[in-house]
Structure 1
């Protein structure tokens, strides 16, 4: 957005304002989890009539319509700009939302369509890897290969809520009567996962065009890092381990974030960047 000068009134923005980007368990290419939860594999917008997502959709609509202050203070879905409250739309408005005639789920302005593989491909068409920016991503997985198939890598160490989800995603099969989301698609490429995202999706932007990348086994093997390349490391853990729960991850959590900040400090020392309102040295 800085490169595209998307901020009105700030026409002097530049991609060079961003020195480095680090992704930790990031959905860079979508996830097959969306299809298990209820998104139609045929496209990136439709929800299956009977699915977990339908229940969640109804629950969110009623939640927003009731507009109970203490509940909204506890958690806000970010749909306030749709003005879905009972005081503004009444019973008729509620029916419109439930029937899919209005609201965020009718407009596509919510996260799940973007998290499908097809939706991510559309978003990534506008994504660029800039030659002056450093990139590093951590891809998590909690699966292992057994006779050519992916299975959860043990019960210990994985969150109980995610074990079934890891197992589901490791058995994913794209429907044979539906066109694959992209040329060269293979189910087995998407089997490794962390219970929420596929490992292949977290390494670097791959679809629709693969960006420059380098797998990191040992940090010393790729020093110094070069800008314009997505360096990525695959680490063992479920999706909650490093993103949410420091207590479960323990020392490994601290080491991950220490390495992120240390890498950023090295970039700052290695490269001088002109920031907004900063006069470059003569």
Structure 2
């Protein structure tokens, strides 16, 4: 009887979660459509008045500016998708040279990193022969006849700003550049990336993946009944139907798996649904990369490079009351995320499952923003901690130092909550600082290890600018100003130190 009661509760929770996600997706989609229809009607009925004088637009000289590239997260989209709707809430309009690539919204970190390279450099996306064979998809994908920054090289580096999984995508891309992983581009290096700024970055995985349906035992397979199983079925049918105008409006990014009805027919659909073929069969999609185990696998091959500037903004919507972690507010959390904030704050790794890494503690992973755990967003921590330094005010880190993750508090949107203390990798941080001629004792570093976190949920600084208000403008202006005024590569640079 008790078992049936538990199953009933789980099914009810699954129904509520699926409805919340479905309605939120429909809300975004309908908002984009309504905006496009409204714009079209205005243009249609706009009086065509000509005064005989053509006003020339003011030209802006942006040739000397390295682009700032905004990289979206899971279920995200770039410029050109969803009509005129902006994933970054219009932040791209706040600087003279900002690019917003459209990458696969559910494709793996590896595939998205490859797509991002060719979006910028130009050419046909090459996923790599070995990877494509292992994951059973086409080796070549979309063609960019003209790259969005074809001059990209070590002398013309780029600033990247990644939200959520987008931050991990950029890190993987930089590692690929260092490893010279792109055929026909043997001169790539890690120095093609000038800076990486992470907004709620998915560096170390998320316990939400297990709540949504990933198996905590391996971090790769799906539970038989879960929200992600429903998502999987919906995505397969969506891609199989292959409705051109609909996929032009929004695309999950699995075109290289070639599962359209035109290619595989009804039998191909059945194979995908049964899990025999497609991205979900090979685990070549984003969710396995966002588990703690998946992030550990990725981080094992990604370095923090000494000539690149790294910045990180962590978020949370939890607080402790009598030692128990609970949501910090009732009305400040988006309804889309409230249930998950509560569930993630109480998450416990199954006692019969192997812990994802040595030293794992449930208590470290309780603070969260509804999608990611706060500890995951600070800087790469597993399987080893990367050099880092925590700052309360941006003025504390001028002049800026490359090769260290600077974790910024920025602004606290609610009254200050208890600080989060995180151990600093003293040896690596001090070595880097000393090589730049700045002496800093362990005691000095300890003073920086407590920091205030941005009080915001996971989608506070994207999609809806009005929701964040003035804080939205202040944060993006601060990021863009730092890229333009304070981040410059000078010689000599530090020797490359690979983290393994």
Q: Tell me the TM-score range normalised by the shorter chain.
A: over 0.9
CA RMSD of aligned residues (A): 1.6
**Could you tell me which of 59, 79, 84 is aligned with 2:254?**
79
**1:193 maps to which of 326, 351, 368:** 368
Match of 1:71, SS? helix
Q: Using a 3 Å threshold, how does the CA distance of structure 1 residues 168 and 131 change in structure 2: closer, same or farther?
A: same
Unpaired runs of at least 5, structure 2: 1-175, 409-452, 493-500
Alignment of 1:96-115 (within 5 A): 96-115=271-290
Aligned pairs for 1:250-261 (under 5 A) are: 250-261=469-480
Of 478, 481, 484, 1:262 maps to: 481
Counterparts of 1:254 and 1:244, CA distance in 2 = 13
1:169 maps to which residue?
A: 344
Q: Does structure 2 conserve the Cα–Cα contact (< 8 Å) formed by 1:24 and 1:243?
A: no
* 2:286 corresponds to 1:67: no
1:207-246, aligned counterparts within 5 Å? Answer: 207-233=382-408, 234-246=453-465
- The yes-or-no answer on 1:7 pairing with 2:182 is yes
Residue 223 of structure 2 is matched in structure 1 by 48
CA offsets 1:58-92 (integer angstroms, 9 cap, x no match)? 11111111112232122111111111112221221
Runs of 4+ deviating beyond 4 Å:
none
* 1:94 counterpart = 2:313: no
Inter-partner Cα distance in structure 2 for 1:89 and 1:13: 37
TM-score (structure 2 length as normaliser): 0.53
Higher relative CO (Cα under 8 Å, sequence separation at least 6) belongs to 1
Alpha-carbon distance change, 271 to 264 in structure 1, aligned in 2, over 3 angstroms: farther
What is the aligned counterpart of 1:31 among 199, 206, 213? Answer: 206
Residue correspondences, number:
274
Q: Which protein has the larger Cα radius of gyration, Structure 1 or Structure 2? A: 2
- Whole-Å Cα distance in 2 between the matches of residues 272 and 263 of structure 1? 20
Asked whether the 8 Å contact 2:319–2:328 carries over to 1, the reply is: yes
Give the SS at the match of 1:23.
Answer: strand
Instruction: Structure 1 unaligned segments of length 5 or more: list them.
Output: 274-282
How far is 1:270 from its partner? 6.5
Task: Give the Cα–Cα distance (whole angstroms) in 2 for the partners of residues 228 and 87 of structure 1.
Answer: 49
Aligned-residue offset at 1:3:
1.1
TM-score, with length taken from structure 1: 0.93
Q: Check the 8 A contact 1:20/1:267 in 2, yes or no.
A: no
